[in-house]
A and B are shown apart, each in its own frame.
Chain A
Amino acid sequence: MNIRSHLFYAAILTGLVSITPLLFADQWTTPTKEELSMTSQDGYPGIAAVYLDRDEITEDKLHVWSVYVRLKVLTEKGKDYANVELDYGSSSNGGGYTVNDISGRTIHPDGTIIPFTGKPYEKLIERTHGAEGYKHMAKVFTMPDVEVGSIIEYRYTLRYDDYWYISPTWYIQSDLYLRKGRYVWKPTNKQLISKSAGREHLTNSIGWLPILPPGAEVKQSRLPPVQSEVEGQLILELNVHDIPPAPQEEYMPPIGSFTYRVRFYYSPYRTTEEFWKAEGKYWAKDRDKFIGPGPKVAAAVRELSTPADSQDQKLQKFYAAVMALENTDYSREHDRTEDRAAGLREVHNTDDILERKRGTSDQLTELFVAMARAAGMKAYLFALTRRDRSIFTNYYLNLSQLDDDIAVVNVGGKERFFDPGSRYCPYGHLDWIHTYAGGIRQTEDGSVIATTPGEGYSFSRTQRIADLKMDDHGEVNGTVKITYMGEDALSWRHRLLRGDNQSLQKELRTNLEHLFPGGMNVQVTSISQPEDYEKPLTVEYSVKGAIGAPTGKRLFVPADIFVSNSKAVFPHEKRQLAVYFPYPHMLQDAVRIHLPSSIKAESVPAADKQMFETSALYVLTSEQKPDSVTIRRDLSLGDFLFPPKDYPNLRSFYTKLETKDQENIVLTNAQPIDRAKSISPSN
């Protein structure tokens, strides 16, 4: 989904013939003694650098965005911030900006000032040609004589082309600590026209999405009117201080788009509700135009189904038909030339997708919706924010936050959700990135903001079974069968789509090699139903090699060989953010080792059961017979999001099961098991 908006000034700006250069050259900040001598930032030991000041001022009348940065280098790594690369560019269809007025200086801890006298280098990033061509450049410079303790100070302006306006985004939080930040926008009071997907809107308001720390707010003020102005200049200003670096932790929620920031936009709408109602309605109608259904889809539906089929049976057939088409998101996008050469016209609707027998994930979803509608069912499109990338918010008035489409179909009076764009996703299920995801969906009379359902832990399940025979030297030989279901199978099938059987086989082998003790010989013997998305994906292996550590008369064998290489999930005691796993799932292991008569089991791990509230369950059992040992291990995770307050207990659950997983089966042999003695150099 790519909805772009264009803003430009409707009138001819005859009055704006010159832009006053900003007189910043002498406006440097004298550092305080504390700033010169500081070596660290309280509360953030070892941090590479600190923004002492960051000012951003956007003046629409001047078409200028000026930036001022003052940064203290605290470590060797902090010197990297002396290298600056500023993007700029222009496009063939109008609009662009340049970077100007770069100046700067370096101040040593002793107060010595080294002015930046170099010339920024012009660097090409990308240039394309044609009506929609563009040139993307960067100005590159590096500050002189920067050492640990230096203060780097520089400023520059971004100058936008006439008739083009910006709505700034203030990124307050970064990877560095910010001591003081000041952000100002002086928006134009001219009437602007917003162009979006061929539509034009007169903008009449400014909106913003503030994600700010407590106490910080965007303040509005207005200067007295000048000359013929009805209203004086509006000023939006934000002052912040002591902003910590954006947190980074393992298993963190996708909050990259929710660090402290303010997103502004010119808007023809006055309220959030108004925006989503109007834009959602337009989106729904626009998509309906594409969906149709047209005559070719209708004919295909007639061919695929019989009148005797139930709605569910029909839908399953349509789903299977869409699944059989090429999803170009997993292969390659075809351009117009290839379509023309194949006698295909430009894509205008789902008939065209059907005719091509290929499409993007979104196009295939739309085709599925079209087929359902052609069969007389109520079917809708649902555009959502992918859960692996970000989180949908209706306070951000922009449809660009929506990534993917899924389908909603009323089957027998009940709405069900389908994911035909995620190839090989089982019928009636969603790829995990589309579960519990927010967005907008079509309704009978427009659109509505909604959330997708999730999948239970039993949907995504992996069963791993090892049947091994041990010889007198403690080496095993046998088979492994791994059955992937739900999301676990889908992820492997997507790998198949991006490669081929050869690469899938290699990845499956490598995956098991990494689970097993080093040095084991692993071969894939069969892959069953790799493309039958309604069935589990089953992989069989033959394995051979040493799995235990011998002492003189004993052999210590990992109880569950599938977790013998696993490491602690949560090694860190402290945590700031919630824990966010991809999806609920279940892992079931069964390992049986057949023992030779010379080897006996002296000890096997005792049964164990651990629970974390009602969200996670671990069960380990063992079965000891004279000629075999069997270990069964089940781990079920029912939730995917755990708030920070739950972290200590969640961590405790994992450490307990990881400790249990480290227990061994102890085998004894009548003859000493000394594998080392059999090893000698080959030459």
Chain B
Amino acid sequence: MIWNLNFLLRKSNSRFVLFCCLLSPLSARAKESVPEWVKAAATQVLPAYPPDTKAVVLLDDTTYTVNLDGTAIEHSRTVIKILRPQGRDQGLVFVPFDKDRKILSMHVWSIGPSGQEYALNDKEMVELGYPGQGNLYEDERIRAARPPGRDPGGVVAYEYEQRMLPYIAEKTWFFQDSSPRLHQSFTLELPAGFSYTTVWTHHSKIQESDPEDRRRWRWEINNTPAIDLEQVLHRPSALSLAGRMTVRFGPSSAVPKDGWQGIGEWYEGLSHDRLTAIPEMVTKARELTAGKTDFYDKTEAIAEFVQKDVRYFAIEMGIGGYQPHFAADIYRNRYGDCKDKATLLSSMLSTVGVHAALLMVDSRRGVIDPDSPSIVGNHMVTAIEIPQGYDSPKLRSVFTAKTGRRYLVFDPTWEKTPFGQVEHELQGGYGVLMEGPDSQVIQIPLLPPTFNTIYRVGHLQLAANGSLKGRVTEDRFGDVSDRRRALYTHGSAQEQNENLDHVLEQDFSTFKVSDVKVENAEALNKKLTLSYNIDVDSYARAMGPLLAVRPRVLGEDAPEVDQKDRKVPIDLRQTIQVNDEYDIELPDGFAVDETPNAVALDVGFASYTSSTSVKGKTLHYSRTYTVRQIVLTPQKYGDLRKLSSLIATDEQSRAVLKKQ
């Protein structure tokens, strides 16, 4: 390669790594005046923060000035104080922009721990693109800076002005994140004749200042605590807890009363013409549904086509972050992002007389709040209308809209979720049904554990020397099968073998696997079956005349817990049911001296039962672990600990055999 372009050789998906490689050929100007508002913020006395606080936002002021033509100018000031070495990265400055969000000006200052002041010039800032990870192109960029003095005790400040061309007359003020925030304000300036509404999410409403000119409103919040989930087990999404305020504005006569309806109508304007089907799509849909008359069978055929044969590749430029491509282009190219795939599915279904709408969701459960209409969301799926009077047990992720119409939620982007279900990330969360004037927020059902299952069966023989041989069969269905399905459809033989070795090494120290069989890896609506023979050395341990054997042969299900005080809700991710049945044929000359006690615990959101019995010369172990609810209050953490302890203890329990 050309040797003076070393940067071109760097292969990195990390924005931070790229940024760290920035040379600093020109120096920031020291001793130039740091604005008074920065100095004032920097000299504040801080309240006591938890010892692991990395940095604190001393000041975050945003002024959002709306023009008559709907464009806006955003002016922002931020001051951050670094408290610990790990907080240095929070002193890196990143301001995102694109062609519809142009940065008009940007200034960065810093004050080192010694009090030395610095001001960066424009040439010391860099522009970065978002890493694509191989399947994404987007035109959003970041203007970034690496201010001097970013050490504990140092202060970093920046101010920028950005011209916004909003796609919808809405602005969300995010005022809570992983750092505590001392003083924050949001100011809204509207032209004459405009009015606004606000909705508050995860925070009680704050009263705005009420100016005399009725053109400028200001909200202030002080001492906002951090939401630091870095070390929290079973943590919910930070954004599902963080406070935010969404303000919608417009000419006084035009501000809609129902925010969700307004969002749906806006989105219909963006997407309606994208749904048009071309003749090739009609032909394909007919070909896929040929001979099928049942609603489920027809929709499944088309849905699986879009799910499996249209690969994920995102191209997002400007409004393209919200607006899908034309269904015809997606069909021809056989690629698209989530909203493209949802659009193509809706379009193709329409050619066989099935109506489907787009459903905006967020894979971070709890981010979409039914009481806070906004366009905050990160994913698009399809809501397929179910004909009146039609019913089928195969339709599982079903909701009924206020209109009385029933819909099946399906995500064609999620490659391994069976048609009729939806992935666990979306279950229990909310979505925005884009149905024009009938648009509304809906809740996606939480599926019962029986649609997400693991069932392990082992028929094994124990030898007097402690070795164990036999065949194990494991069935998986639902979300818990998706990684395995991906492995056995996408992975190489080496990857498959290594994965099975790693699964078995959790429970055996020395083993051999043979005769591995996999069934239904592609058939999402059938159980994925993995079966194999195992030959385990020293499975049972001799202790004089005794032989100790673990009846629970495979599978560790105890949820991970810690001993810290729990302050945030618990997210167990998915409902699930796990069953284990192991029959161990005992060696001649040994009798069972002792078996583990049966255990049973039901804590409401989950239950666990296990028992070990002896039938003739066979030791039989059976257990069932069920998770019924996934979002729990912090107060339930004690029960989760008890459940975890009980399962972990049961999993290590031994039966004792005695030599006759």
Contact = CB atoms under 8 A, between A and B. Distances in A.
A79 B309 CA distance: 10
A130 B26 contact: yes
A655 B123 CA distance: 59
B25 A338 contact: no
B116 interface: yes
A338 B311 contact: no
Interface stretch (B99-107, B329-337, B438-446): B329-337
B492 A48 contact: yes
Given A46-B492, A603-B543, A551 B595 contact: yes
A126 B146 CA distance: 14
Q: Looking at B26, B135, B498, B650, which has the most chain A CB atoms within 10 Å of its CB?
A: B26
Given A47-B492, A80-B135, A679 B645 contact: yes
26 contacts: A77-B490, A83-B313, A85-B134, A94-B4, A95-B4, A123-B129, A128-B22, A129-B124, A131-B25, A133-B25, A134-B5, A144-B333, A332-B150, A335-B27, A338-B149, A340-B27, A502-B52, A518-B560, A519-B561, A519-B645, A549-B654, A550-B597, A551-B597, A572-B497, A659-B510, A681-B604
B129 A549 contact: no
Contacts, number: 299
B152 to A, nearest CB: 8
Task: Give the one of B6, B8, B135 with max A CB within 10 A.
Answer: B8
Interface of B: 1-8, 18-19, 21-31, 51-52, 84-86, 88, 112, 114, 116, 118, 122-129, 132, 134-135, 137, 139, 141, 148-151, 231, 309, 311, 313, 315, 332-335, 415, 486, 489-498, 501-502, 504-506, 508-512, 537-538, 541, 543-544, 546, 548, 558, 560-563, 594-597, 599, 601-604, 638-639, 641-642, 644-646, 648-656
Contact of B85 (A44, A46, A147, A500): A500
Given A7-B3, A518-B558, A518-B644, A675 B649 contact: yes
Given A46-B495, A338-B112, A550-B649, A169 B1 contact: yes
A168 B3 CA distance: 10
Given A125-B129, A332-B150, A681-B604, A662 B541 contact: yes
A259 interface: no
A659 B538 contact: yes
B624 to A, nearest CB: 15
Contact of A341 (B4, B30, B85): B30
Contacts of B510: 568, 655, 658-659
Interface string A68-87: 00000001110110110101
Contact of A95 (B2, B23, B502): B2
A198 interface: no
Contact of A513 (B23, B128, B489, B562): B562
A160 B2 contact: yes
A567 B501 CA distance: 11
B128 A125 contact: yes
Nearest to B558: A518
A343 to B, nearest CB: 10
Top 10 nearest A-B pairs (CB, nearest first) are A549-B652, A46-B492, A603-B543, A341-B30, A45-B493, A124-B129, A77-B490, A658-B509, A129-B123, A571-B501
A132 interface: yes
Given A521-B563, A556-B652, A128 B23 contact: yes
Given A521-B563, A568-B509, A666-B546, A331 B123 contact: no
Contacts of B642: 679-682
Contact of A164 (B2, B118, B595, B641): B2
A165 B132 CA distance: 30
Contacts of B128: 124-127
A369 B120 CA distance: 36
A498 B85 contact: yes
Given A48-B490, A335-B24, A664-B548, A552 B30 contact: no
A146 B310 CA distance: 9
Contacts of A658: 509-510
Contact of A568 (B132, B505, B548, B652): B505
B501 A549 contact: no
A128 B128 CA distance: 9
A676 B562 contact: no
Contact of B118 (A5, A83, A138, A341): A341
A98 B266 CA distance: 41
Contact of A551 (B30, B118, B594, B604): B594
Contact of B334 (A77, A146, A342): A146
A633 to B, nearest CB: 15
Contacts of B511: 571
A591 to B, nearest CB: 17
Contacts of A663: 541
Contact of A331 (B23, B151, B332, B654): B151
Contacts of B656: 551, 554
Contact of B6 (A4, A521, A681): A4
A488 B313 CA distance: 45
A499 B543 contact: no
Contacts of B22: 126, 128
A130 B24 CA distance: 9
A592 B546 CA distance: 24
A549 B315 contact: no
B466 to A, nearest CB: 9
B151 A126 contact: no
A75 B489 contact: yes
Contacts of A674: 597
Interface in A146-184: 146-147, 160, 164-166, 168-169
A546 B652 CA distance: 12
A232 B126 CA distance: 46
B311 A79 contact: yes
Contacts of B31: 341
A337 interface: yes
Contacts of B148: 334-335, 337-338, 341
B491 A77 contact: yes
A48 B492 CA distance: 7
B25 A337 contact: no
A216 interface: no
A91 B3 CA distance: 11
Interface in A579-620: 602-603
Contacts of B1: 166, 168-169
Contacts of A556: 548, 652-654
A388 interface: no
Interface string A517-534: 111010000000000000
A600 to B, nearest CB: 14
Given A91-B5, A519-B645, A46 B491 contact: yes
Contacts of B23: 128, 132
Given A46-B495, A97-B2, A121 B315 contact: yes
Contacts of A334: 148
Interface in A107-132: 118, 121, 123-132
Given A334-B148, A506-B52, A96 B332 contact: no
Contacts of A127: 126-128
A207 interface: no
Contact of B116 (A342, A661, A680, A682): A342
Contacts of B112: 338, 341
A535 to B, nearest CB: 23
B280 to A, nearest CB: 12
A90 B511 CA distance: 56
Given A7-B3, A518-B558, A85 B655 contact: no
